[in-house]
Amino acid sequence: MEDLAARLGVTKSAIYHHFAGKDALLAEALDHALSGLEAVAGQVRELDRPAVERLELLVRRSVEVLVERLPYVTLLVRVRGNSDVERDALARRRRIDRLVAELVGEAVSAGDLRPDVDPAVTARLLFGLVNSLTEWLRVDGRHEAPTLAAAVSTVAFDGLRVG
Amino acid sequence: MEDLAARLGVTKSAIYHHFAGKDALLAEALDHALSGLEAVAGQVRELDRPAVERLELLVRRSVEVLVERLPYVTLLVRVRGNSDVERDALARRRRIDRLVAELVGEAVSAGDLRPDVDPAVTARLLFGLVNSLTEWLRVDGRHEAPTLAAAVSTVAFDGLRVG
DNA sequence: CGATTTCCTGACCGTTCGTTCAGTATTGAT
DNA sequence: ATCAATACTGAACGAACGGTCAGGAAATCG
């Protein structure tokens, strides 16, 4: 809170004028990440297309949300459940993860995704890949969201190897 | 330190009998992760094989080290550089990342990896994928290291899609 | 203009947490 | 049995940190 206040050029008290406490501040920030991700999840869920296509769209849109709301998603992926607020965020995240797992399962059943890798593992690797962007991405114009989304999608679905 | 002491069933002072301080403890733990990863990096570097093969071997071996030393690698990937010890660890990690980037570059030049994705991005996605295992992996016998290494390698190099 | 709400400061409180240290068992070698 | 090294405990210290509160500018409105 002190660092944050210093960065804002105000005192800690000023922050407490606008937010009930550290937790409330965290909750708002996490909600900004989660609401974006939940929006694309809902959007994808209602789509009347094969599971693979919906999954790929979910991945691409998630990357776009991640780029657009990078600081908030970065915060989200670092949450470990050390407080009620964090546990609530994890619960919301898990709901999205479940959608991913479902789509992977459907896509495997439909014969569009390889069945030789455990679907549960596939789902986790898929979003591990997406979320790993927060480890190095900087919004400096060097990486456009759609380009990055395409790269992630290509690597995940088609692999790095040629031929 | 308090939590740690409690978990060990001793007082905090007992820890300070064996370690100079929190930083020294962290340094040893991080070194245990880094030495393992550096070992496979060195092993791969000396191999006289095509870059793709060396890269794939590096990925598989890294997954095995990650599984074998899970708590330590988990610690490592959470380090952000908030102290000298953490910055030293990051520097060592970056050296390994550079090897990955070099191998990806070579493999692309050799025509074995797709050139339509920025090699720097490819390298980061590749190890983002590997390191994302720390987010959910639990060593409970449900996931054998070689199986997991194969899954990661398959997804990264051949992709999820069939055909 | 005055009144009220909004925004913010500065000082302070209580807790947490890494660390220190004097003293005490425990172990092992001679 | 003696001595010394080793392995701790318990109490305390001090800095860091989240949070509170009385009061004062600054903006807003009738």
Cβ atoms of A130 and A66 closer than 8 Å = yes
B156, A160: Cβ pair inside 8 Å?
Answer: yes
Would residue A48 count as lying in a domain? yes
Domain with A43 in it: 26-158
Say how far apart CA A84 and CA A22 lie, in whole Å: 12
CATH number of the domain to which B94 belongs? 1.10.357.10
| pLDDT at residue A72, rounded to an integer | 97
- Give the C-alpha separation, A25 to A13, whole Å: 14
- Collapsing DSSP states into helix, strand and coil, what is residue B141? coil
Q: Do A151 and B118 lie within an 8 Å CB cutoff?
A: yes
pLDDT of residue B56: 97
Question: Is the distance from CB of B157 to CB of B58 less than 8 angstroms?
Answer: no
pLDDT band, residue A79 (cuts 50/70/90): very high
pLDDT at residue B149 in the model: 97
In Å, how far from its chain's centre is CA B79?
A: 12
Task: Determine the angle formed by the axes of helices B84-109 and B51-68, rounding to 10 degrees.
Answer: 150
In DSSP notation, A77-128 reads: HH----SHHHHHHHHHHHHHHHHHHHHHHHHHHTTSB-TTS-HHHHHHHHHH
User: Cβ of B128 and A125 within 8 Å?
Assistant: no
CA dist., res. A100 & res. A122, Å (int) = 10
Backbone dihedral angles phi then psi of residue B17, each to the nearest 5 degrees? -75, -30
Q: Model confidence over A10-61: pLDDT tens digits? A: 999 999 999 999 999 999 999 999 999 999 999 999 999 999 999 999 999 9
- Judge whether B16 lies within some domain: no
In whole angstroms, give the CA distance from residue B47 to residue A155. Answer: 26
Task: Establish if B65 belongs to a structural domain.
Answer: yes
pLDDT of residue A62 exceeding 80, the answer is yes
Task: Check if residue B82 sits with its Cβ under 7 angstroms from strand C.
Answer: no
**CA distances from residue A141 to A135, A138, B8, B77 in whole angstroms, order as listed:** 17, 8, 48, 26
**A125, A128, A159: residue with CB nearest B158:** A159
Pick among B3, B53, B125 to test the A interface (most A CBs inside 10 A):
B125
Instruction: Answer whether A97's CB lies under 8 Å from A123's CB.
Output: yes
Q: Where are the alpha helices (DSSP H) in B79-158?
A: 84-109, 119-131, 145-158
Q: Which residues of chain B have pLDDT under 50?
A: none
CB A91 within 8 A of CB A30: no
Residue B124 inside a domain? The answer is yes
Q: Which residues pair with A161 in a beta bridge?
A: B113
- Would residue A112 count as lying in a domain? yes
| Cα–Cα distances in angstroms (integers) from residue A27 to residues A35, A76, A88, B44, B87, in the given order | 12, 10, 9, 45, 30
| Three-state DSSP state, B137 | coil
**Contact flag, residue A17 CB and nucleic strand C, below 7 A:** yes
Q: How many CB atoms lie within 10 A of CB B50?
A: 14
| Phi and psi at residue A99, to the nearest 5° | -60, -45
Number of other residues whose CB lies within 10 A of the CB of residue B9: 7
d(C-alpha A99, C-alpha A45), whole Å: 8
Q: What is the pLDDT of residues A82-131, one digit of tens each?
A: 999 999 999 999 999 999 999 999 999 999 999 999 999 999 999 999 99
Residue B141: the pLDDT is 87
Interface check for B98 against chain A (CB to CB < 8 A): the answer is no
Instruction: Give the pLDDT of residue B1.
Output: 95
Rg of chain A over CA atoms, in angstroms? 18
- pLDDT tens, residue by residue, A124-163: 999 999 999 999 999 998 999 999 999 999 999 999 999 7
Nearest-Cα residue of chain A relative to residue B110: A162
Per-residue model confidence (pLDDT) at position A141: 87
User: What's this model's pTM, rounded to 2 decimal places?
Assistant: 0.94
- Report which residue type is found at A126: L
Q: Please give the tally of structural domains in chain A.
A: 1
A140 touches B: beta carbon within 8 Å: no
- Quick check: is B17 in a domain? no
pLDDT of residue B59: 98
The rounded distance, in Å, linking the Cα atoms of B42 and B34 is: 12
Q: Cβ contact (<8 Å) for A143 and B159? A: no
- The verdict on residue B11 lying in a domain is no
- Residue A14 approaches strand C within 7 Å at CB: yes
- pLDDT, position A69: 97
Q: What are B58's two structure tokens?
A: 């590096």
- Domain assignment present for A84: yes
